[in-house]
Structure 1
Amino acid sequence: MRYWQRAMIFCARHGGLTAAVHGSSFMTRFSRQFVAAEDCRGAVERMVQLRAEGRRGSLFYLGEYVESAQEVEATVQALLAGIPLLASSGLDVHVSVDPTQIGSMLSWELCRENAQRLAEAIRDSVQDAAPSASFGWPDASRDRQEVSRSMLMLDMEDSSVTQPTLDLYHALHDASLPVAVTVQSYLHRTTDDLAALVAKGAAVRLVKGAFAEPASRAHVRRADVDDAYRLHMTMLFSSAARETGVYPVLGTHDERMMRFGASLAQVGGWASDGWEVEMLLGVRPAVQQRLVRQGTALRLYCPFGQSWWPYSVRRIGENPRNALFVLRSIAGV
């Protein structure tokens, strides 16, 4: 599996291959499986349609590992343009971002400044749309019914940036900004990281982890990764997590993990709107429909932009079965 992941990461970061694929009219059908639209307005329109179907969305601008200051600013501007569109459309102002998109490869100070700009814009847009809205971060005494799901979700990249990404989350949270963070259950350090986040009452997106990390840093056997995910779900749905105001987000396409999380929520007395499942746009639509029918809060990761090849091929890298799904969709079968 790690060799497959490495191969897909190589394809995602290969400039010549990316340029060739983006120039193929046939391969644009490939992008439609995972990408909401080429521009921000189209993506928000797609998210409005999804909301009518009972699915929330998280807006994400395509691009990662950005080393140009101009591209960093272009990313920030694209998201700043999307935030008021989300608010005026009556949607959650929920935006996902990779730290490497907004300046961390240039400096973490620049990244922090840009993340703060985005989080403040989210806060202000919701307050303008509904002055009585409350984010609830970090106030643990809030009524769960009143919690706004509008937030800046910090995506988690490879383990070299885990600590600075967590530091970024804590800085924004301590400034009372609407921020959430992603943690990867396969990393050995995650149990300690998650304990600190639970104590703070964080909104946490829990994913298994899709980078080819060495065994010294992460579980590499599938069974061990699954066990770690179950352990960390148990922490997110603990009584301590409820008391501090944790908002669990299960970022997974694994139905076994969804069922386990749902059982933990039921036993622990969590409200149906007190947690959610997050999936990628275009992946396992039948499962998505089933979750909606069951009344599970579902959010879809909704990317927009033109740099769709690196993103899409990384989705295949996460699970080889995604490749078969996409090929069948392109063939129309």
Structure 2
Amino acid sequence: MIHQMTRSFFLFLSSRTTLNTFAQKWGLKFGASHIVAGQTMNDALRVAESLHSQGLTCIFDHLGEFVHSKEEAREATNAAIATIERIATSPLDIHLSVKLTQLGLSIDEDFCLQNMTDIVAAAKKHQVFVCIDMENYTHYEQTLRILEKLRQQNEQVGTVLQAYLRHAMKDLKQLHDVPLRLVKGAYKESEKVAFQKKEIIDEHFYRMITTHLKEGVFTAIATHDHRIIEKVISFVQKNNIPTDTFEFQFLYGFRPNLQQQLVQQGYAVRIYVPFGKDWFGYFMRRLAERPQNISFAMRGLLQRK
């Protein structure tokens, strides 16, 4: 009960535009620097270089969710293209993650599609893989529609499916030939569309992972849950799943020891590296996911004092 109340509180904060505006002026505070690489591309590249030296690859996310005008969305589009061009000059293995609300989805779907078309064209030119992040359920169907249209021009684009959604397995089967990042889900959704119990979500998550792995299409398994990771390893070994058809993904700043254990065992591990001034919503969702994450914020506050 206490965890649910805490989770609801931080998810509420994550959607507050005013707080995000203040956070831009604060800079990375309250422990956010533990899990956000910095505010600039150079910050993110320095982190990527450090991670690469540890045998880890990256996926960059230029944070930004509170977009209310076409001008802001075009700025975000240009920033994504610039990120792709910068990645292309780096010897490191880096993918790009994008959020459609940052690119104008809440303003106009066709406008967002055009922005994504420009991004995907740049990604195809520079051979950079793009993953469309899945946001709250309000934008779910729109995201899948845009994905379908984009894959007609570039197959090196995928998306995220959230295991807490009741119809996620059905959509997984429809996207059987699409590279997917599979996650449990981090937004607060109604019981009508999402499972609420951890045990059910975990089981659904594992079933989705094994189903997609058997398709032979690239699968990113994004979780810090060592129990699920252990079950997946047992599954791939038993079923002779090639190790180049999947990877484990972690959020930057979480479970580095487990990351290294997996690398030493010969598994690919990619780190989700967020950067940018709009860090507040992302940080609040991480606090909502696990009560232990609040320790980051507490340490940050004490250090500030």
Q: Structure 2: any 5+ residue segments left out of the alignment?
A: none
Deviations 1:195-221 (A, max 9, x none): 1111xx210100011111111111101
1:75 aligned residue = 76
Cα deviation for residue 329 of structure 1 reads: 6.9
Say which of 242, 246, 266 aligns to 1:271.
242
Answer with 74-83 or 318-327: which moved more: 318-327
Instruction: Work out the CA distance in 2 between the residues paired with 1:236 and 1:327.
Output: 39
Q: Percent identity?
A: 29
Say which of 262, 267, 275 aligns to 1:296.
267
Answer with 310-319 or 7-16: which moved more: 7-16
Deviations 1:102-151 (A, max 9, x none): 1101111111111121111111113xxxxxxxxxxxxxxxxxxxxxxx31
2:180 aligned residue = 204
Q: 1:285 to 1:331 in 2, by over 3 A?
A: farther
- Are 2:139 and 1:161 equivalent residues in the alignment? yes
Answer with 225-234 or 267-276: which moved more: 267-276
Cα deviation for residue 316 of structure 1 reads: 1.0
2:108 aligned residue = 107
Q: Where do 1:56-71 residues align within 5 Å?
A: 56-71=57-72
2:282 aligned residue = 311
Answer with 323-332 or 108-117: which moved more: 323-332
2:160 aligned residue = 182
Deviations 1:235-279 (A, max 9, x none): 1122xx02xxx1111111111111112222222222222201111
Residues 83, 122 of structure 1: 8 Å contact kept: yes
2:47 aligned residue = 46
Q: 1:52 to 1:295 in 2, by over 3 A?
A: same
Cα deviation for residue 9 of structure 1 reads: 2.2
Instruction: Work out the CA distance in 2 between the residues paired with 1:61 and 1:188.
Output: 29
Provide the secondary structure at the position in 1 that maps to 2:64. Answer: coil
1:134 aligned residue = none
Residues 61, 97 of structure 1: 8 Å contact kept: yes
Instruction: Work out the CA distance in 1 between the residues paired with 2:122 and 2:287.
Output: 33
Answer with 106-115 or 170-179: which moved more: 170-179
Instruction: Work out the CA distance in 1 between the residues paired with 2:132 and 2:5.
Output: 27
Cα deviation for residue 286 of structure 1 reads: 2.0
Q: 1:328 to 1:255 in 2, by over 3 A?
A: farther
Residues 72, 103 of structure 1: 8 Å contact kept: yes
* Number of corresponding residues: 301
1:171 aligned residue = 149
Q: Supply the AA of the counterpart residue of 1:323.
A: I
Residues 30, 299 of structure 2: 8 Å contact kept: no
Residues 124, 154 of structure 2: 8 Å contact kept: no
Instruction: Work out the CA distance in 2 between the residues paired with 1:308 and 1:271.
Output: 36
Cα deviation for residue 7 of structure 1 reads: 1.4
Instruction: Work out the CA distance in 1 between the residues paired with 2:23 and 2:86.
Output: 30
Instruction: Work out the CA distance in 2 between the residues paired with 1:235 and 1:65.
Output: 35
Cα deviation for residue 287 of structure 1 reads: 1.9
Answer with 215-224 or 63-72: which moved more: 63-72
Residues 32, 296 of structure 2: 8 Å contact kept: no
Q: 1:93 to 1:118 in 2, by over 3 A?
A: farther
Q: Supply the AA of the counterpart residue of 1:14.
A: R
Cα deviation for residue 31 of structure 1 reads: 2.2
Say which of 235, 260, 263 aligns to 2:211.
235
1:12 aligned residue = 14
Provide the secondary structure at the position in 2 that maps to 1:85. Answer: helix
2:192 aligned residue = 216
By relative contact order (CA 8 Å, sep 6+), the higher-ranking structure is: 2
Provide the secondary structure at the position in 1 that maps to 2:131. Answer: strand
- Give the TM-score taking structure 2 as reference length: 0.92
1:129 aligned residue = none
Instruction: Work out the CA distance in 1 between the residues paired with 2:191 and 2:266.
Output: 38
Q: Structure 1: any 5+ residue segments left out of the alignment?
A: 127-149
Residues 44, 82 of structure 1: 8 Å contact kept: no
Residues 237, 268 of structure 1: 8 Å contact kept: no
